[in-house]
Chains A and B, each alone.
Chain A
Amino acid sequence: MTGTSRTERGEAAGEEAGVGEPAPRDGVPPADALLALHRSGTLAARYPEAQRLVAELDGRELVRAGNLLARLDADETAGLHPGIPAARVAITGHGTLPDLLPALTAQLARHGILLRPFTGRFDGYVLELGDPGSDLYAAEPDLVLCVLDPAVVFDEVAVPWRPADVERAGLEKIGLLKGLATAFEANCRGTLVLNTLPLLRRYTAQLVDHRSRARLGALWRELNARLLHLCEEHERVVVLDLDPLAAEASPASDPRMSVYAKAHLSPDLLAAYAREAGHLVRHLTGRTRKCLVLDLDNTLWGGVLGDDGVDGIEVGEGHRGEAFREFQRVVKQVGSQGVLLAVASKNDVEPVRKVLREHPGMVLREDDFVHVVANWRPKPENVAELARELNLGTHSLVFADDSAFERWLVRSEHPDVAVVGLDADPALHAERLLADGWFDVRETTAEDRVRKTRYRDERARRDFLHTFDSIEEYLRELDVRVVLAEATGEDAARVSQLTMRTNQFNTVTHRLGVPEVRDLLKDARTRILTIRSRDRFGDNGTVGALFTRWADDAVRIDGFLLSCRVFGRGIEQACLAAVLRHARAGAARAVYGAYLPTPRNGGVAELYPRHGFARAAAPPGGPPGPDGSEGVAWFRHDLAEIFTPPDHVHLTDELGGNAP
């Protein structure tokens, strides 16, 4: 998210490791291996290894790991490992937050990200967010965690008090926070995280009558609801609801820490908060997962299909059967929001199909999955095949299996697959799956609701392809139609999502939030062009975007990205040629294209050279994108001779005269 991170030049070692369970390492438990690194003074030097170890820790071991890692100088670690993606996170709030920094350091490490913290002053949030000249804003954070606690309100209430006094003080604070959110959006490009205030018994029980307690409970929740609604008025504000976390972390506050040290939220609650914040950072750095790959036997149903038969498996009825059914309901719910579902199972395919089609206890059916792989090959092979079939990197996959052996195999072969360990009790499956928010995003778009269909159309295309002798013939018959148009405000959510999700065909890999896309749309020199495509199998929707900018008498392509579903069909050539033609028509002297290598976008390294661009010095107009990036390679096209794009692509150019 910072110079190095937002552009995601993650070295292989910095890739997110699967989370949550130990892998054999010559018999040394990961916590001990981490401690050995600490004791030998090599934690910083071997940070990528430390991150992989932390990914296997939980509970107290994770707390300790956070303490050890938080002691390191983050700038020094970043200097030693420029390839590790980093996130600049500012921590501010009302009380002291002793446990948050180590907990957050550990959570980000689990996801292969280095925390570069800015820690605000005690109770400094009003000045730090309200003053445009504050040190917090000077630190240019990607994310600001403004941690609020119930004392924010109760500190302002004089004794004796009635519920109405609490309401008055609360409403004042909400007003203050609204102002701070507005100031934040004016002064910082990052994301502000606020949170609801847990109501503690230590307050409610001070009221001796139940009627007043109920009033306090009701008005407190109204205050929290107002807080939660702030994220509707402020696009770059996220409000974490602490109620679900407080319901599971016990206790939410330690009175001794609260009174003596002004630490009003308990270490356990802050650890849960840090976990959620970690998911948010993972999303903002473009590492949200796209596909959930599930085992079948003892994952989606109880028993072994091959041994027990279609009628013998447990699903739908009986204690365990109901638990599996509940898990399937959760999976279906997750799948309804744009997450692709797939199966990788060691089974014969026919009985699997029979269960998916006919078993009365099943919630999930064949058409809930984009792909079902059932055979007797090793699972890592099947996982790799799934990734190929769906045209996704293995870093986009989450793999859930009840077998520790299978999980270990997949983890060993594909270290960047996130592996979810399910155990023998199916009632715990859903919690295990949901614990790490693998698919969390800021918001979903219309595209998410039709994604499964798009991938299914894609399979039809592939089957169609197999009926042709040559790719050219296939592409001609595919009847690819492309519309290149200037983006409007309505496209902002989808364009942002493309920048977040696209890893392979993405020339510069800048992750942009919706407000950042809107800012670019307002910038008179910048144009965002959307690429929509359709073919004989259906509409692909908005599949790509080009970020162009006039600088002096040249046009720069600061970013070019295309969904992995559609590249390789000539769409990229058609769009690139159109941009070149428009630039020439607009009397540009040249067009420049930027390329910033990441571990995932090697496929577009030759995009510009292959289409008549030559390596060149950086053009005027600054770095591509708002945050500046080292390591960008520039290519220049002199517009003398523009290549002819493949004639099977029918391009409708809606750019008008002056674009790009």
Chain B
Amino acid sequence: MNTIDDFVALVRDHLGLPVTAEDAERTLDQVPGWDSMHLLWLLTTIERETGRSVPLPDLLQATSLHEMYLLAVDR
């Protein structure tokens, strides 16, 4: 996973959420279909797919998919 587009594709194809690159910039309450459970699925999925560990407290505080993406890759 190298770009935000990869990340958005992961959310779309692994979690099944119909999100676009524009949605990644929105706050989570404006992302179609988002709820807090998705965050936990996302954590498991990112770690499973990238083999990388993501700090969960930071992820819990992220306000957009883009912020989550940065946490998932910038370590």
Chain A positions within 8 Å of B, measured between CB atoms, are 35, 38-39, 60, 63-64, 67-71, 96, 98-99, 101-102, 256-257, 260-261, 263, 267
The binding surface of chain A is classed by DSSP as: helix
Q: Are B48 and A67 in contact (CB under 8 A)?
A: no
Is residue B26 within 8 Å, beta carbon to beta carbon, of the partner chain? no
Chain B positions within 8 Å of A, measured between CB atoms, are 13-17, 33, 37, 40-41, 43-45, 48, 56-57, 60
**Smallest Cβ distance from A35 to chain B, in angstroms?**
6
| A38 and B40 in contact, given A60-B48, A257-B56 (Cβ under 8 angstroms) | no
**Smallest Cβ distance from A51 to chain B, in angstroms?**
16
| A67 and B40 in contact, given A35-B13, A39-B13 (Cβ under 8 angstroms) | no
Q: Are A67 and B56 in contact (CB under 8 A)?
A: no
Q: Are B33 and A263 in contact (CB under 8 A)?
A: no
Per a CB cutoff under 8 Å, which of B13, B15, B40 touches A263? B40
Residue of A nearest to B55 (CB): A256
Contacts of B57 in A (CB 8 A): 260
Q: Are B33 and A71 in contact (CB under 8 A)?
A: yes
Q: Report Cα–Cα, A68/B16, bound state, in Å.
A: 5
**Smallest Cβ distance from A569 to chain B, in angstroms?**
53
**Smallest Cβ distance from A61 to chain B, in angstroms?**
11
Q: Report Cα–Cα, A260/B44, bound state, in Å.
A: 14
Contacts of A101 in B (CB 8 A): 37
Residue of A nearest to B14 (CB): A64
* A–B Cβ pairs within 8 angstroms, 13 of them: A38-B13, A63-B48, A67-B15, A68-B13, A68-B16, A71-B16, A71-B17, A99-B41, A102-B41, A257-B56, A260-B57, A261-B60, A263-B40
Per a CB cutoff under 8 Å, which of A35, A39, A260, A267 touches B60? A260
Residue of B nearest to A102 (CB): B41
Residue of B nearest to A68 (CB): B16
| A260 and B56 in contact, given A67-B14, A68-B16, A71-B16 (Cβ under 8 angstroms) | yes
Q: Are A67 and B16 in contact (CB under 8 A)?
A: yes
Residue of A nearest to B38 (CB): A98
Q: Are B44 and A38 in contact (CB under 8 A)?
A: no
Per a CB cutoff under 8 Å, which of A38, A256, A260 touches B16? A38
Q: Are B33 and A67 in contact (CB under 8 A)?
A: no
Per a CB cutoff under 8 Å, which of B15, B44, B56, B60 touches A71? B15
Q: Report Cα–Cα, A38/B37, bound state, in Å.
A: 20
**Smallest Cβ distance from A37 to chain B, in angstroms?**
11
Contacts of B37 in A (CB 8 A): 96, 98, 101
Q: Report Cα–Cα, A267/B25, bound state, in Å.
A: 29
Residue of B nearest to A71 (CB): B16
| A98 and B15 in contact, given A71-B33, A256-B56, A260-B57 (Cβ under 8 angstroms) | no
Q: Are A261 and B41 in contact (CB under 8 A)?
A: no
